[in-house]
Amino acid sequence: MLQVVELGKSYRNVRALDGVSFALPRGRVLAVVGANGAGKSTLIKSVVGLIRFEGRIVVDGIDVSRNPKAARRRIGYLSQEAALHPDLTVAETASFYAALRGLPPQRARECVELVGLGAVSDRRVGALSGGMRRRLALAVALLADPPLLVLDEPASGLDVAARVELRRLIADQRSAGKSVLLSTHWLEDVPHIADDVLVLDRGRVVFTGPARELLEAPAIESRLYLRINGRSQDAIELLRRAMPQRPAERLGDWVVLPVRAAEKASVLHTLVAAGIPVSDVRVEEAPADEALRRLTEVDP
């Protein structure tokens, strides 16, 4: 569905992309991750033909440089900052973009329902939360039922529940045979939302592989906060014995320890099995820039 060969892009003296190559088959999801300035947005804009570039990009057999309009007709694009008119309602916005594409109003209503905005279809865009505006922009991207979805930071501004719903939406698109290229800084979402991952650093590909490898990477650690009333010391001693590689410590009323994504449930199971009640749980997500630096062993 998508082939990128030796993609390059420079802005004056800055090399934003340098020799990036990859392929995205039909029915697969590829996540592009990287720190700020790594080249993610430049890559996305190149694929959708919004900027000139070096190298070759082919979308469903169409060369983007030679025929950008035809290539864009095969793409549903969600930008970081979608241009939505604040005075239009959700329904009016979807209907407007559907009309531009020659699509019936029914398709606009379907896409609004699909992204979970049916209950607020009469609300003006200017009154929506940031997460709701992202959902509306995604509905617009889905209107023409494109074979390739290109999503630039689709989880930006979404709360936890909306991020889980986004995972379902993307899984449904994949099941329907669509291909999805997305950029994200939510590292822990990647194994749940993508089949494969491509890591950029300063415009170069420094890591490619199955998305599940991110869960296994020791660099991808979060901090787990557990409120354990009255038995904090017992919990710390137990966790230090059960997980000596994850030093637990006390911070006020909380027990805190670094964990990888796959270990969170086992920490809770260990405490409950020992009869130590947990009254509250909080997670501080892994810092993206530092985790990626350690994952790729590239010095900042």
Task: Say if residue 204's pLDDT is above 80.
Answer: yes
Return the bridge partners of 259, or none: 222
Region for residue 101 given its phi and psi (left: phi exceeds 0; alpha: psi -120 to 50; beta: otherwise)? alpha
Task: Say if residue 170's pLDDT is above 70.
Answer: yes
**pTM value?**
0.76
45-59, 154-168, 283-297: which range is least confident on average? 283-297
The tokens for 128 are 């929506």
DSSP reduced 3-state for 11: strand
* Structure-model confidence comparison of residues 125 and 190, the more confident one: 125
Task: Say if residue 73's pLDDT is above 90.
Answer: yes
- Round the average pLDDT of the chain to a whole number and report it: 88
